[in-house]
Amino acid sequence: MAQFSYQAKSRDGKTVSGTVDAADRRGALAAVSRLGLLPLRVESGSGGASAKPAKGGARAASGAKGGGGLSLSFSKPVGMDPRERLLFTGELADLLDGGMTLGDALNALARRGGGAGGPAAVVAALRDDIVGGKSFSDALAGYPKVFTPVYVNMVRAGEASGAMVDVLRRLAAHDERERAMRSKISSAMVYPIIVLCMGVGVAIFAMTYILPKFKLVFDQIGPEGLPPATKLLLGANDWFKAWWPAVVLAIAGGVFAFRRWTATKAGRLAWDGFKLRAPLVKGIVASAVYANFASTLESLLRNGVPILRALDLTSETVGNEVVGAELRKARERVTDGTTISGPLEQGGVFPPMVIDLLAVGERTGDMPSALEHVAKRYESQLEKNILVFTTALEPIMIFAVAAVVGFIAMAIMQAVLSVTSGIR
């Protein structure tokens, strides 16, 4: 057995040091953990080994006193995408449900590895904040790019109610529903985008490769003898060759200006309103927005978040500025003591079905269940609207591509037929 000196964090956030006997450094780390401490640095008692921060504890090691060891500090990591956050939430719920304390569960997740700035680094930072005396919700609030206000407030409600496991499972279910909705919408756009790209590719190929092959034929006919369609095609081709840099710049400038406009409050309000009225897509947009509204508000209310705060959070995360603005107006009216369904009905943005189900929830005193019915209804409606969208868009895209390619083929063939008729 060798003797190892250590520095660690206690449950109350204090830095402590001491020695343990173990066969190797791994055993020393385990021995320190069994003492109920979070190891920051473990080194051989002989002094021959250089001091090494314990795995996952480097950030807190910068505050250790004494020992002359290596001190490291890192900036806040932000590397966790929505899929990784969903996995983290589910695994944390399982570990807590299995009897682990929050600190031990975070430590276990942090020690599973991952590069600097990755998910494990975020979890390690959360663990260090917990050991330092912060609440879990306050620690999560320090990483707004990873954990949304809805996530933080639901965890805060779980801390107050003592039902953290249930809250985490509902958060995982909520994130899974949102991810499924986004996946359905993305899948609906795959086929139209493929058809559009193929059509544009065929048109460019015909204009840049096939059309020049017939240039000798067109020169023989002369401009006066060319059919109108061929003249139009050649004119468009010449214009594009001369002005294509300007066209590219105009498109890039238009995209930039559009993004800047939609980043403003007025632009975002106008664009989101247009999406709720646009043919074909309005059904998908509205269904996704109402389903997101209902599932978010249901999760917040079911976990004990006050109604006014829940409306604020839902308005920020609903995904549509028109609906968000209506929720903020409703929140002001709710402050005056009125119900939710009444103020929402006055705005005329929410459909009657949503208003009626909310009114039922208010009468029965079970608003979360009413919102759950709304979410399920519009999630089902979203699938139907996606099917309608893809069914209607498929022939439209095919017809548009066929029209462009057919016009190019017709213009070339008319010129060729003119030449052969002249020869005869």
Q: Label the pairing between strands 2-9 and 38-44.
A: antiparallel
Closest Cα to residue 128, out of 6, 246, 50, 13?
Answer: 13
User: Is the same domain home to 310 and 354?
Assistant: yes
User: Is the same domain home to 201 and 168?
Assistant: no
CB atoms within 10 A of CB 112: 11
Q: Is residue 66 part of a domain?
A: no
User: Is the same domain home to 226 and 298?
Assistant: yes
User: Is the same domain home to 254 and 392?
Assistant: yes
Q: For the chain of 424 residues, list the mean pLDDT of each consecutive stretch of 10.
A: 76 73 74 70 56 40 37 48 86 86 83 63 85 84 85 82 82 83 79 82 81 72 75 83 89 94 91 88 88 86 83 85 89 73 84 90 88 90 85 83 85 77 58
Domain boundary residue among 11, 29, 61?
Answer: 61
User: Is the same domain home to 309 and 417?
Assistant: yes
The Cα–Cα gap between 250 and 254 comes to: 6
What is the count of structural domains for the chain? Answer: 3
Contact 77, 121 (CB under 8 A): yes
Q: Is residue 237 part of a domain?
A: yes
Domain boundary residue among 176, 204, 219?
Answer: 176
Contact 64, 41 (CB under 8 A): yes
User: Is the same domain home to 248 and 297?
Assistant: yes
Domain around 383: 188-424
Task: Assign residue 388 the CATH number of its domain.
Answer: 1.20.81.30
User: Is the same domain home to 238 and 370?
Assistant: yes
User: Is the same domain home to 357 and 234?
Assistant: yes
Q: Is residue 320 part of a domain?
A: yes
pLDDT of residue 75: 44
User: Is the same domain home to 229 and 346?
Assistant: yes
User: Is the same domain home to 209 and 147?
Assistant: no
pLDDT digits (tens, 9 = 90+) for 20-50: 887 777 677 677 767 767 666 677 764 444 3
User: Is the same domain home to 40 and 169?
Assistant: no
Q: Is residue 183 part of a domain?
A: no
pLDDT of residue 313: 84
Q: What token pair was written down for 46? A: 């002989």
User: Is the same domain home to 264 and 206?
Assistant: yes
**Quick one: DSSP state of residue 144?**
T
Q: Is residue 73 part of a domain?
A: no
